[in-house]
Amino acid sequence: MEYRIALLKGDGIGPEITESAVQVLETVGARFGHRFVFEPYLIGGAAIDAVGEPLPDKTVEGCLASDSVLLGAVGGPKWDALPADMRPEKALLGIRAALGLYMNLRPAKLFPALKGASPLREDLTAQGFDILIVRELTGGIYFGEHGTRTGRYGEEAFDTECYSVYEIERIGKAAFEAARKRSGRLVSVDKANVLESSRLWRRTMHRLAESYPDVAYSDLYVDNAAMQLVRDPQQFDVIVTSNLFGDILSDEASQLTGSIGMLASASLGETKRGLFEPIHGSAPDIAGKDLANPAAMILSGAMMLRYAFGLADEADAVENAVDAVLARGCHTADIVGDSGVRPLSGSAMTAELLRELGGQRAGSARRY
Ligand code: NAD
């Protein structure tokens, strides 16, 4: 099979880590008989410098014409003084909207070799954990009616949480399907004891659950979920929740792994064409020094294989290679901790991963 991937390298460490991901994907492609064609497009500060805007039309058109989109990161101090509408980060909202991405998948996995990096007590991390948070991305309070007005006590502001059955079913089905592909457990998080929108969310999820008898389904109030995540993260497999609650819980869960350089994400919509990117930013403080950990970007590539292309074995191969390389003690500076191990550069880490995948570099199909 041939897959066309729009490659948005962006700024800071973006070009370094996307290069690592390209090498890993080409290697896994060669091993499994696929051809990945990478087509680079400008985004963020690099696009501002080249053509005067953070998200050129050509980039949007290229992404829409691709099978999937791989994004490094955007932003940096060079562009911080620009007006909000012209800043590199503006391109992120623009590309997500243009691709109609309504759900965000964020795994928070504690790799066995990195247990020491977690801020949790040793007894809580002994079993490890592997959580997938499915967050609704285009509805809820971030997009509801909002404004300011004069009320009983003077100036006031309001934001409205609103969800339709259609939106809840759409994200709910995706979460049940994701749970089926994993260990078959799904927790829906809401605040149905207080919020009307949460009561509709819960009713809709219960109705959906009847169609997925093979998935062990339960509900949690968001305050309890926040507590349970730090009390016993191992109890969770897939969590589905609204835009606001997902924003907060996914950051909490990712922090439990203790390593921003390891965390991938996927944003998906009606089509299989998703946007896959690490959760970290462009890390200007280490850009160009070969210090960046490429793992989050590479694991985002693995999510692309799994969720955009349905290539589960290939995704497993990449994830297992990351596991194995970490277990051998190959760590970049961000995850080396106080282990006393000499940290690897980003390119040395990539080389270890390529070696682990055991592939010869394929004939390159890159057009850059
Ligand atoms: P950041 O995630 O870029 O960096 C935070 C810290 O983590 C830094 O010390 C950095 O060196 C480190 N770090 C991040 N990724 C790493 C990696 N792969 N390997 C090793 N260390 C890593 O967050 P920030 O400093 O708040 O933001 C920097 C720029 O990135 C800003 O312009 C911000 O707007 C932008 N940003 C972009 C995105 C995105 O493109 N999706 C997300 C967040 C921030």
The answer to whether the pTM exceeds 0.95 is no
Is the Cβ atom of 282 under 6 angstroms away from ligand 1? yes
Active-site residue flag, 3 = no
Is the Cβ atom of 89 under 6 angstroms away from ligand 1? yes
pLDDT tens digits, one per residue of 138-157: 999 988 999 999 999 999 99
Please state which CATH number belongs to domain 1-103+270-368. 3.40.718.10
Please state which CATH number belongs to domain 119-256. 3.40.718.10
Long-range CB contacts (< 8 A, 24+ apart) of 312-318? 312/181, 313/32, 314/28, 314/29, 314/31, 314/32, 314/34, 317/28, 317/31, 317/32, 317/357, 318/24, 318/28, 318/357
pLDDT of residue 209: 98
**Substitution candidate for ligand 1 out of 69, 277, 282 with most atoms within 8 A of CB:** 282
Predicted confidence (pLDDT) at residue 363 exceeds the cutoff of 80: no
State the closest ligand 1 atom to the C-alpha of 297, by its place in the atom list counted from 1. Answer: 18
pLDDT tens digits, one per residue of 239-259: 999 999 999 999 899 889 988
State in Å: Cα 39 to ligand 1 middle: 24
Is the Cβ atom of 280 under 6 angstroms away from ligand 1? yes
pLDDT tens digits, one per residue of 179-194: 998 899 999 999 999 9
CB 15 within 8 A of CB 74: no
Domain ranges of the chain: 1-103+270-368, 119-256
Catalytic residue of the set 9, 90, 109, 191: 191
Residue nearest to atom 42 of ligand 1 (CA): 281
Q: Are strands 216-221 and 101-109 parallel, antiparallel or unpaired?
A: unpaired
1 vs 274: which has the higher pLDDT: 274
Backbone angles phi, psi at 276, to 5 degrees: -120, 125
Q: For the chain, what is the mean pLDDT? A: 93
Ranges of beta strands (E only) in the chain are 2-10, 35-40, 68-73, 101-109, 130-136, 146-151, 154-159, 185-190, 216-221, 238-241, 264-269, 275-278
Residue nearest to atom 20 of ligand 1 (CA): 292
- The rounded Cα 38 to chain-centroid distance in angstroms is 20
CB 367 within 8 A of CB 38: yes
* DSSP reduced 3-state for 324: helix
Query: Same topology for domains 1-103+270-368 and 119-256, yes or no?
Result: yes
For residue 38, what are the β-bridge partners?
A: 5
Name the token pair of 226: 């926040």
159 vs 366: which has the higher pLDDT: 159
pLDDT of residue 321: 96
* DSSP reduced 3-state for 191: coil
What does the alpha-carbon distance between residue 58 and residue 54 come to, in Å, rounded to a whole number? Answer: 11
Residue nearest to atom 22 of ligand 1 (CA): 261
Active-site residue flag, 223 = yes
